[in-house]
Structures are given as structure tokens and as C-alpha cells.
Amino acid sequence: MDQPFKQRFDRLAPFIPGRVLAGALGASFMLVIALLVHIDLMIDPAVPRFWVLSAWFVGLAVLRWALRDAKGGAAEKLRDFAEYVVTFMCISLLGVLASYALAGVSHGFVDAELDRADKMLHFDWLALYYLVAASPLLQHLGQAAYSNIYITPAILFLSMAWNGEKASARQFLLTYWAAVVMTLSVFPLMPAKGALDYLTDGPVPYMPTSGRWQGVIIPALREHLLPKIDLGALQGLVCAPSFHTVSGVLYLAWAWKSPRLRWVLVPMNIAMLMATPIEGVHYLSDMILGAGVALLAIALVERWVRRSSTQPTGLLATA
């Protein structure tokens, strides 16, 4: 698909107004604050990371506002890139904060059920773990691939801002938000310590990226032993559904739309998914759940966008 056609196609596609994303973020913010207050949890403003993140959010928001009337050229591209990044960062941070609050009101662990499902799928997590533990090369490759969760969105947003694909970018952001909401809705029903903590005991030959944090932080949150959240030491608490898998599937779906990027981003995200069982200490069963969440989010947002765009007075009738 040539570039001019891609830009024309994007402008003709259903366009999600900024107020829709702003409303989703505003509602999410209020809900997260309510959850944090409910379990007497607060963000620690004394740590440097709090001010660094605050500066990033404020800087990007101010840049987006200052360039709000930009038409064409580098200014418009920079404005759109700032919008995409700050929106993505807000969704991600609110999602992590919500996971801490929801972990505090969860009960028990479902590792036995997830491990049983893995056995039914003939997936041997320990065998894969010891294979990686015996190979420093696989460890380094897995760590690099697992960190791609931060790299792919930056590349996607840069590409969409550069090519004027605002409709696609906003649909991605709304889908990402929906996937976060669905993941967090399921999380309190099936909290887990993670495969490493459940299947091993004592010292291990290799400590994956995600370590054993779920089994430590979740009980501490339940007992109100962590009154403050340190933004400089945030850890992923959601085992099932696997949000690395959710993200990987979403990234693959959008990467495939770009003929120029797909040959780079598709292998990168396949590698991330392959690294997720060990580096994310995920069961195969919760990765399948994560893929299901991503596909459902894509389908629901696509359906909503298409239906709304056909209504003259619908949410998408104007930009």
C-alpha cells in the first residue's frame, strides 16, 4: 500500500474524538483513586521517580496543548506523537496502580489450577526453565525480548505520527485501554504467585526478570504492610491473564498493518511472547487467557467504532 493511499485511507477511517479517550482516562483515574483510598494505599511522593514521571507527563501534555493548532509539517507530527505517548503512559500507569489496589482485595492463589491446565496442554514449564537456566545466551535473548513491551509502542507511535495515521493510533489506544480494563477485571478472581514461585522452592539457578514478586507483594498488600507505592520499584503483579501476552497480540495486530514495520516488529513481538513464560514466570494457560483478552478487546472496539461511525449523531460523528 503506497504512503499517500495509506494516509487517505486513515483519514477516511472512523475517527475517535479525543474526548472519548479523555473520558476513558478520566473515569479510570477516578476509579483508581477510589480503589487506592479504599485499601489505604497511596503513592509515595518522596521518591525521585515520582517527580521524573510527573515531569514527563506534564511536559508531554504541555507540548500537546501548545501545538494544538498545528497544521502539517513537523509541528503536527510532534503534537500527535506527544498525544499518543502521554495517553499510553497514563493508561499504563493507571493500570499498574489499579493492579496494586486490586491485589490488596484479592484472596488466595490459583497457581494449582493454572499448573493443572498447563499439564492438560502438555506444557512443561520446569523443563523450559531449566533449558534457559543452563544457557546464558537464552537468558540474555529472553531478557532483551521481554523488554520489547516498552519498545514496540514507541516505534508504532512514531510511525503513526509521522504518517498522519491518527485514526489508527486512537483506535489502538482505545483498544489498549479496553484490554487493560478487561485484564484487571479478571485479575482479582485469579491471582497467582507465578510459575517460578509455585514450581520451585529455595535458591534457583536463574532468576527471571519478574522474579518472585507476586508471591511477596500480593500478601503484603492484603495485610496492609505496603502503605505507599514506590513508583521507582513498581512490579508486575498480574499473572493471569498475562498482560505481556495481551500487549504482544495488540502490537502484532497493529504492526501487521504496516508493510514497512511488520518485518521488524512481528519477529520482535513473537520473540517477546516466546520469552514470556520464563521471563514473566507465566503459565501457558494464562498466556492463552491473555491472547483471548487481546482478541476480544480488538473485536469489541472495532465493532463499537464501526457501529458508532454509522450513526449521524453518534460519538464518532465529529472529530
pLDDT tens-place string over residues 67-101: 999 988 999 999 999 999 999 999 999 999 999 99
- Each of the 319 residues of the chain gets a pLDDT tens digit; together they read 444 444 444 544 577 888 999 999 999 999 999 999 998 999 989 888 889 999 999 999 999 999 999 988 999 999 999 999 999 999 999 999 999 999 999 999 999 999 999 999 999 999 999 999 999 999 999 999 999 999 999 999 999 999 999 999 999 999 999 999 999 999 999 999 999 999 999 899 999 999 998 999 999 999 989 888 988 888 888 889 999 999 999 999 999 998 889 999 999 999 999 999 999 999 999 999 999 999 999 999 999 998 877 655 444 544 4
Looking at the chain, the whole-number percentage of residues with pLDDT higher than 70 is: 92
Question: What pLDDT is recorded for position 319?
Answer: 44
> Which residues fall within 8 angstroms of residue 54, CB to CB, at 6 or more apart?
none
**191 close to 110: Cβ distance less than 8 angstroms:** yes
Question: What pLDDT is recorded for position 291?
Answer: 97
Angle (CA) 118 121 125, round 5°: 40
> Which residues fall within 8 angstroms of residue 47, CB to CB, at 6 or more apart?
230, 231, 232
**315 close to 17: Cβ distance less than 8 angstroms:** yes
Question: What pLDDT is recorded for position 311?
Answer: 58
Give the global pTM.
0.92
Question: What pLDDT is recorded for position 195?
Answer: 96
Tally Cβ neighbours within 10 Å of residue 33. 14
Question: What pLDDT is recorded for position 5?
Answer: 41
